[in-house]
């Protein structure tokens, strides 16, 4: 059993720490936010992630997982220290390393034995070397030894527990082979592929992987936009592309673009890294621009169907950036709903989990429904922004009856065209034929 300290109890730190505890390690997750630690000790989990609360309770009860606001004490008691603090995007697009730097200084000040410091946070290339310098500058005893390792996370919100317990690979970047092997041994219970690299390569792998996936999304969305103009169906095109083993079918689902905590931040950060290195990353610039423009398709569909939005009531289904999370960072809802309001529409929004979170960022004029069918009742159009299973499996016949006019703008291509035609919706999706067979519907509750 290894003694592991995790600095930062956000998404990455809490999930990673809990999973390391689950495979047998002794883990203490710590944070400077004392109120957050108090809530965690009461099993009040600050994020929605399927299976996380149950796993936290289990490992806490079995004595492998605990929480503390005494960061200095956790540093002194741990053999391995993971830095899992936030690296938000700054105004320039680069990653803000303020929290990472402060964690390094605290580690240096409280170093009492040899430690292995591992960066889980997504950080620019060169950060590992910077941390080495910051820790060394803050050592009370300059003869004290330590190692810095990069071990980037590859967790998907909504399936993070599964991703960690069944990780495809563990990337371990280090200058010291013994330190790299020690972190590899921590991952042994996961029975995953271990890939050892230099510090710099490990840091770059995280950015390269995320921006490549973002590129696939923007590429298929650009193809979808062409399909919509030439009469092709992007779902068929994507399926045909995906049969090529060199391409694969993942991340080829056309829609209104990516959001969340990783892809937007990481694409901008890598663009900034490239600029600092003197390289003009035109391809990545196009990926970012394509994604930012993609969500505007929703407004095009609304205007085509309704003309002026003034006085129209719009139902918005889905507020989180993806299903199975309450994360609304860079979610399409946060930019599209204010635009609808500016154009004079009344908006009623529904999400099974993210209403509370989204409500902190959306204008006060938004009404919220706590049930899907309540949300669509007497609306002039229904807009789908998140493909929650409840939304994908909704009763279309009932929705058709409840809408004032059966117009659906689907930003996630949730339904087959033949199904929407049979239910007599006017149906706008991404990269597919517009269905215009809608007939007026009488509202019945």
What whole-number distance in Å separates Cα of residue 65 and Cα of residue 20?
9
pLDDT tens digits for 221-253? 999 999 999 999 999 999 999 999 999 999 999
Q: Rounded to whole angstroms, how far apart are CA atoms 398 and 403?
A: 9
Residue of 19, 29, 227, 262 marked catalytic: 262
Name the pLDDT band for 1 (thresholds 50, 70, 90): low
Mean pLDDT across the chain, nearest whole number? 95
Report residue 117's pLDDT band, with 50, 70 and 90 as the boundaries. Answer: very high
Let me know if 175 is exposed, middle or buried by CB neighbors in 10 A (0-12, 13-18, 19+).
middle
pLDDT of residue 93: 85
**Which residues make up each annotated binding site?**
31, 36, 87, 122, 154-157, 206, 251-255, 259, 265, 322, 329
How large is the average pLDDT for residues 122-132?
96
Residue 91 pLDDT grade (very low, low, confident, very high; cuts 50, 70, 90): confident
Measured at the CA of 182, the angle between CA 176 and CA 185, to 5 degrees, comes to 140
* Third-level CATH fold of 295-436: Rossmann fold (3.40.50)
**Smallest Cα–Cα separation from 154: which of 332, 19, 257, 6?**
19
pLDDT recorded at residue 315: 98
Give the pLDDT confidence of 377-429 residue by residue, as tens digits: 999 999 999 999 999 999 999 999 999 999 999 999 999 999 999 999 999 99
Tokens of 34: 């004392």
Point out the annotated binding site for NAD(+): 31, 36, 87, 122, 157, 265, 329
Give me the mean pLDDT over the 334-349 stretch: 98
Cα angle value 43/157/247 (rounded, 5°): 160
Helix ranges (H only) for 169-230 are: 177-186, 199-230
Residues near 221 by Cβ (< 8 Å), separated by ≥ 6? 254, 255, 256, 257, 290, 291, 294, 430, 431
Q: Give catalytic status of residue 262 as yes or no.
A: yes
pLDDT value for 132: 97
Q: What confidence category does residue 294 fall into, taking pLDDT thresholds of 50, 70 and 90?
A: very high
Residue % of the chain over a pLDDT of 70: 98
In which residue are the tokens 């621009």 written? 289
Say if residue 367's pLDDT is above 90.
yes
> 188: alpha, beta or left, given left = phi > 0 and alpha = psi -120 to 50?
alpha
Least Cα distance to 173 among 150, 156, 195 occurs for 150
d(CA 284, CA 153): 22
- In this predicted structure, what is the pLDDT of residue 383? 98
From 8-12, 92-96, 344-348, 360-364, the region with the lowest mean pLDDT: 92-96
What is the β-pairing status of strands 367-368 and 381-384? unpaired
**pLDDT band, residue 2 (cuts 50/70/90):** confident
pLDDT at 397: 98
Average the pLDDT over each of 90-99, 173-182, 286-295, 331-340 and give the range with the smallest value. 90-99
Q: How far apart are CA 8 and CA 17, in angstroms?
A: 10
Annotated binding residues for substrate, written as ranges, equal: 154-157, 206, 251-255, 259, 322
pLDDT at 443 over 60: no
**How many Å apart are CA 376 and CA 363, to the nearest integer?**
20
Q: What is the pLDDT of residue 442?
A: 46
Q: DSSP H helical segments within 146-296, as ranges? A: 160-165, 177-186, 199-230, 234-242, 263-276, 282-294
Summarize pLDDT for 310-326 with one digit per residue, the tens. Answer: 999 999 999 999 999 99
CB count within 10 Å of CB 300 equals 11
SS3 183: helix
Domain limits, CATH 3.40.50.720, in the chain: 3-197, 295-436
Mean pLDDT of 184-211: 97
Reference 383, options 256, 258, 289; nearest CA is 256
Q: Tell me the per-residue pLDDT of 247-273, one tens digit each, with 9 for 90 and over.
A: 999 999 999 999 998 999 999 999 999
- Residue 275 is predicted with a pLDDT of 95
Query: Domain spanning 206-293: which CATH class is it, in words?
Result: mainly alpha
Q: Are 257 and 413 in contact (CB under 8 A)?
A: no
Rounded Cα–Cα distance for residues 384 and 256 (Å): 10
- Tell me which CATH code domain 3-197 carries: 3.40.50.720
Q: Are 173 and 149 in contact (CB under 8 A)?
A: yes
CB 131 within 8 A of CB 148: yes
Question: What stretch(es) of the chain map to CATH 1.10.1040.10?
Answer: 206-293
Ranges 8-12, 50-54, 436-440: which has the least confidence: 436-440
């Amino acid at each position: 059993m290894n003694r592991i300290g995790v600095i930062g109890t956000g998404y990455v730190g809490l999930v990673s720490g809990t999973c390391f505890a689950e495979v047998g390690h002794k883990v203490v997750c710590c944070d400077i936010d004392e109120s957050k630690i108090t809530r965690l000790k009461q099993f009040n989990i600050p994020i929605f992630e399927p299976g996380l609360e149950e796993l936290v309770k289990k490992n806490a009860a079995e004595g492998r997982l605990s929480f503390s606001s005494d960061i200095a004490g956790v540093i002194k008691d741990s053999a391995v220290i993971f830095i899992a603090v936030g690296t938000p995007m700054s105004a320039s697009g680069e990653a803000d390393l303020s929290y990472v730097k402060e964690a390094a200084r605290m580690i240096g000040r409280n170093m009492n034995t040899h430690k292995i410091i591992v960066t889980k946070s997504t950080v620019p290339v060169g950060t590992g070397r910077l941390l080495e310098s910051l820790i060394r500058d803050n050592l009370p005893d300059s003869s004290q030894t330590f190692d810095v390792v990069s071990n980037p996370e590859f967790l998907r919100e909504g399936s993070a527990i599964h991703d960690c317990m069944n990780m495809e690979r563990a990337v371990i970047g280090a200058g010291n082979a013994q330190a790299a092997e020690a972190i590899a041994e921590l991952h042994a219970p996961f029975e995953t592929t271990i890939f050892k690299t230099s510090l710099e390569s490990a840091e770059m792998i995280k950015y390269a992987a995320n921006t490549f996936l973002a590129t696939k999304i923007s590429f298929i969305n650009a193809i979808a936009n062409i399909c919509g103009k030439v009469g092709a169906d992007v779902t068929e095109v994507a399926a045909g592309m995906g049969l090529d083993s060199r391409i694969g079918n993942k991340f080829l689902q056309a829609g209104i673009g990516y959001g969340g905590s990783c892809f937007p931040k990481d694409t901008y950060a890598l663009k900034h890294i490239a600029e600092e290195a003197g390289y003009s990353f035109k391809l990545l610039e196009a990926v970012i621009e394509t994604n930012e423009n993609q969500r505007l398709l929703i407004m095009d569909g609304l205007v085509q169907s309704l003309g002026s939005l003034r006085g129209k009531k719009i139902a918005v289904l889905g507020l989180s950036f993806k299903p199975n999370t309450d994360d609304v960072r860079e979610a399409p809802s946060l930019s599209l709903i204010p635009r609808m309001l500016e154009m004079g529409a009344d908006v009623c929004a529904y999400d099974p989990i993210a209403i509370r979170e989204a409500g902190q960022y959306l204008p006060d004029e938004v009404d919220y429904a706590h049930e899907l069918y309540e949300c669509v009742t007497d609306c002039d159009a229904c807009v789908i922004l998140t493909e929650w299973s409840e939304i994908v499996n909704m009763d279309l016949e009932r929705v058709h009856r409840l809408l004032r006019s059966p117009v659906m703008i689907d930003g996630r291509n949730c339904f087959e065209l033949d199904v929407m035609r049979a239910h007599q919706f006017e149906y706008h999706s991404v990269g597919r034929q517009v269905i215009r067979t809608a007939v007026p519907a009488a509202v019945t509750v």
